[in-house]
Structure 1
Amino acid sequence: MGQDVTGLHHVGHVVRDLDQAMERYRRLGFTVAAPAYPVLPVTPGGPAQPFGVANTHVYFPRGFVELVAVIDDADRLPGDARPIPLRVPDDKLPGLRAAVRATAANIVSFLRRFQGVHIMIVDTPDIDRVADRLTADGVGHGGVHDIQRPVETPTGTRMEPARYLEITDPRLPPGRVPEGRIGFAENTPAEAPRHRQQHADHPNGATGLVECVLCVADPALPEWERRYEAYFGPARPGRTARFDRAGVTVVTASALTDLLPGERPAVLPAFVAYAVAVRDLPIAEELLRDNGVPVVRTGPEDVFVPADAALGVAIIFRQER
C-alpha cells in the first residue's frame, strides 16, 4: 500500500489578491512565474473573456507551489498576466464553462474558510494503479481525468497532457473534502522539467517541496490516520503522524505549537504549513531577515515564516539533506 506514491506534486495557496501574493513570495526569496488566466467565449463564436481563476507557480525541479485567485474583476488581473485560450467544440462549451465555474466556486468556498493552502496533490508514476487501489479499498474518488494544461517553454506557452485524480466526499460538492482538495497527479513528462528551469533558480536557494502539514482536532487523529493510510500508505504514528512516501504530516491541534511555536489553525481541519528544502539554510535565513520577514528557528536544520507573514500558511525552510 502506498508504493505508488513518490512525494508531493504541488500545494495550492489560495489568495485574495494575486499581485500581493506574488510580491510576498518574491520577498520570501522565490522566483515567481508570470501569471496566467483562462479565457472563454460566453456563447459560441463570441469574444473570449477572462473566466474562472488566475494562477501562477513557484517551480522546483520536481513539484511546485501554485498561487491561485478567483477572477472577480478583469481590471484587477496582474499586468503581466497571460491569457490562455481554452478551445473546445461549440457543443462542449457549456460543459466546460460549468466545470470552470465549479472550480471557481470551490476556490471561493476555500477563501471563506481562510486564506492559505487548501490544495494538496501527491505525485505518482501510475495513476491508474492508484485509482484501482483506492476503488478496492472503498475510497471515493472522481476517476482519472486526462486534460491539457498550459506549460511555459522557452518558445512560448504550449498545451501538455496531464492526468489527475481527486478524492471525493459524498457529503460535499465535487472536488471538495473537509480539508480542502486532495488528489494525485501522474508524474510530469520527462521533458517538462527542462522548461521550468528558467523559473526554478530561487534567491533563497529552495530546491524542492518536501512536506505539507495538516492540523486536525485531537480526538479525530485516529480517523485521519486511517484515512490517510488508505491514500498514502503506513504512517509513523504519534501526536504527529508522518506519511513519509507522500511527504505529508498530520498533527493534532495540541501538538502544533511543539512543531511550529506560536502557530494556531484558523479552522480544523486545515493545511497549516508546507516545507521547502534549501541548499544553505543560514543564507536563506539571512535573506529573509534582510527582507524584513519574521523568522522562527525550530532547530539546527529548520526555520519557518509564520502564517501571519505568509498569507495564511507557515512556510518552513529546511536544510537540504
Structure 2
Amino acid sequence: MGHDINGLHHVGHIVQDMGQAMERYQQLGFTVAAPAYPVMPATPGGPPEPFGVTNAHVHFPRSFVELVAVIGDTGRMPGNARPIPLQVPDDKVPGLRAAIRATAANITAFLERFQGVHIMIADTSDIDCVAARLTADDVGHGGIHDIQRPVETPTGTRMEPARYLEISDLHLSPGRVPEGRVGFAENAPVKAPQEQQHTDHPNGATGLVECVLCVADAALPELERRYESYFGQARHDRVTRFDRANVTVVAASALAGLLPGERPAVLPAFVAYAVAVRDLPATEKLLRDNDVPVIRTGPEELFVPSSAALGVAIIFRQDG
C-alpha cells in the first residue's frame, strides 16, 4: 500500500490578497510565475468577465507551491495577471460558472478558517491504481477528473492534460476532509530543461520536500489511521511521518518542539511546508538581507515563522 505515491505534487496556500502574497514570496526569494484567472461571459454572447479564483505558482522541476485567492467583486487583478478564456458551448456556460462559483465558495470557507495552506496533493504516476486502492479500502473520493491546465513555455501558454482525485469526507462537502483538501495528481511527463519555466529561485530552492499537519492530541490516532489508508504505513518518531507522500503529522502538544513558537490558528491544520535549498547559509543571508525573520532549528534547517509568511511556516532545508 502506498507504493503508487512519489512524494508531494503541490501544496495550496490560500491568501487574502494575491498582489501582497506575490510580493512576500519574492521577499522570501522565490520566483513567482504571473498569476492566471478565468474569464468567460456571464451570459451567452456577453463580454468575458473575470470570476472564480486566481492562482500563481512557485515552480520546481517536479512539484510546486500554488498561491490561491478569490476574485472579488471588483475583479481587480495584479498588473501582470494573465486571463485564461474558458470556451464552452453556450448551453454549458451556466453549469461551468456554477462549478467555478462552488470552488470559489470552498476557497472562501478555507480563508474564513485562516489564511494559510489548506491544500495538500500527493504525486502519483498511476492515478487509476490509487483510485482502485482507495475504493477497495472504502475511502471516499470524488473519482478521477481529467482537466486541462495552462502551462507557460518560452513560446507562450499552452494547455496540458492533468488528472487528479480528491478525498471526500461523507460529513463534509465534496472534496473536503477536516484539514482541507487532500488528494492525488498524476505526474506529467518530465519536461526538457529548456521547457521548464520559473524553476530558478534566488533563495536556491530546488523542490517541495515536506508538508506538516498539526492535529489535536486526542485526534492523532484516528488521523494516523486515516492517512495510512491514503499513503501507506507510517513511521513513528517524535512525530508521525508518511515517507512516501512526504507528509508529517504532529500532535499539538509536540508542535513547539518541531517549530518553536508556532501555534496553529485552528485544528486540524497544515502548519508548515519545507523546501530543499542548494546552500542553506546563502538562503539565510538572503532572507535576513530582506528583513525576513528566521529561526534556526538545526545545522541544516531553518524556518520563517507563519506570522511572517501569511499564515504558514516555511522550512528551508539543506538539500542532500
TM-score scaled to structure 1, two decimals? 0.98
- For residue 170 of structure 1, report the CA deviation from its aligned partner: 1.3
Q: 1:144 and 2:144 equivalent?
A: yes
Residue-by-residue CA offset, 1:199-257 (whole Å, 9 max, x unaligned): 01000000000000000000111101110010001111245110011000000000000
Q: How does 1:280-319 map to 2 (within 5 A)?
A: 280-319=279-318
One-letter amino acid matched to 1:277: A
Q: Aligned partners of 1:55 and 1:73: how far apart in 2?
A: 17
Conserved? CA contact 1:210–1:277, under 8 Å = yes
Q: Which deviates more from structure 2 when the two are superposed, residues 71-80 or residues 54-63?
A: 71-80
Question: What does residue 102 of structure 1 align with?
Answer: 102
Deviations 1:69-93 (A, max 9, x none): 0001345310110100011122221
* Cα distance in 1 for residues equivalent to 2:226 and 2:167: 11
Question: Which residue number in structure 1 is paired with residue 91 of structure 2?
Answer: 91
Instruction: Write the distance in 2 (CA, Å) between the matches of 1:292 and 1:152.
Output: 31
Q: How many Å separate the matches in 1 of 2:193 and 2:85?
A: 23
Aligned residues: 320
Post-superposition CA distance 1:71-121 (Å, at most 9, x none)? 013453101101000111222212111111111001000000000000000
Asked if the contact 1:62–1:193 (Cα under 8 Å) also holds between the matched residues in 2, the reply is: no
- Identify which range, 83-92 or 18-27, moves more after superposition: 83-92
2:275·2:316 contact (CA, 8 Å) conserved in 1?
Answer: yes
Structure 2 counterparts to residues 46-195 of structure 1, below 5 A: 46-191=46-191, 194-195=194-195
Q: Deviations over 1:120-171 (max 9, x none)?
A: 0000000000000000000000000001111111111111110000000111
Question: 1:219 corresponds to which residue?
Answer: 218
What code does the residue aligned with 1:258 have?
G
Contact 1:106–1:175 (Cα < 8 Å) also in 2? no
Verify: 1:15 aligned to 2:15, yes or no: yes
Q: Is the 8 A contact 1:40 1:86 kept in 2?
A: yes
Question: Structure 2 matches for 1:186-205, cutoff 5 A?
Answer: 186-191=186-191, 194-195=194-195, 197-205=196-204
SS at the partner of 1:55? Answer: strand
* 8 Å contact from structure 1 (residues 50, 74) kept in 2: no
Amino acid at match of 2:103: T
Task: Name structure 1 gaps, 5 residues minimum.
Answer: none
**Is 1:258 matched with 2:257?**
yes
Please tell me the residue identity of whatever aligns with 1:110: F
Q: Which runs of 4+ in 1 moved over 6 A?
A: none
**Residue 190 of structure 1: how far off its partner (Å):** 2.8
1:273 aligns with 2:267: no
- Give CA deviations for 1:11-69 in whole Å, capped at 9, x if unaligned: 00000000000000000000010111000111122111001001100000110000010
Single out whichever of 72-81 and 82-91 deviates more from structure 2. 72-81
C-alpha separation in 2, matches of 1:151 and 1:222: 40
Residues 243-277 of structure 1, C-alpha deviations (whole Å, 9 max, x = no match): 01100000000000000000000000000000000
TM-aligned CA distance change 1:150 to 1:74, over 3 Å: farther
Distance in 2 between residues matched to 1:29 and 1:164, nearest whole Å = 29
CA contact (8 A) 2:59 2:197 kept: no
Counterpart contact for 1:217–1:252, Cα < 8 Å: yes
Change (3 A) 1:233 1:207: same
TM-score with structure 2 setting the length: 0.98
Contact 1:239–1:252 (CA<8 Å) still a contact in 2?
no
Describe the SS at the equivalent of 2:197. Answer: helix
Alpha-carbon contact 1:52-1:100 (below 8 Å) kept: yes
CA distance in 2, matches of 1:36, 1:225: 36
The code of the aligned residue for 2:129 comes to R
Structure 2: unaligned runs, 5 residues or longer: none
CA distance in 2, matches of 1:239, 1:264: 18
Q: Which amino acid aligns with 2:104?
A: A
What is the SS of the residue equivalent to 1:199? coil
Of 130-139 and 76-85, the range deviating more from structure 2:
76-85
Q: Which amino acid aligns with 1:317?
A: F
Residue 264 of structure 1 aligns to a residue whose secondary structure is coil
Q: CA RMSD in A?
A: 1.1
In 1: Cα distance, 2:176 partner to 2:197 partner: 33
Residues 213 and 270 of structure 2 are in contact (CA less than 8 Å); yes or no, is this contact kept in structure 1? yes
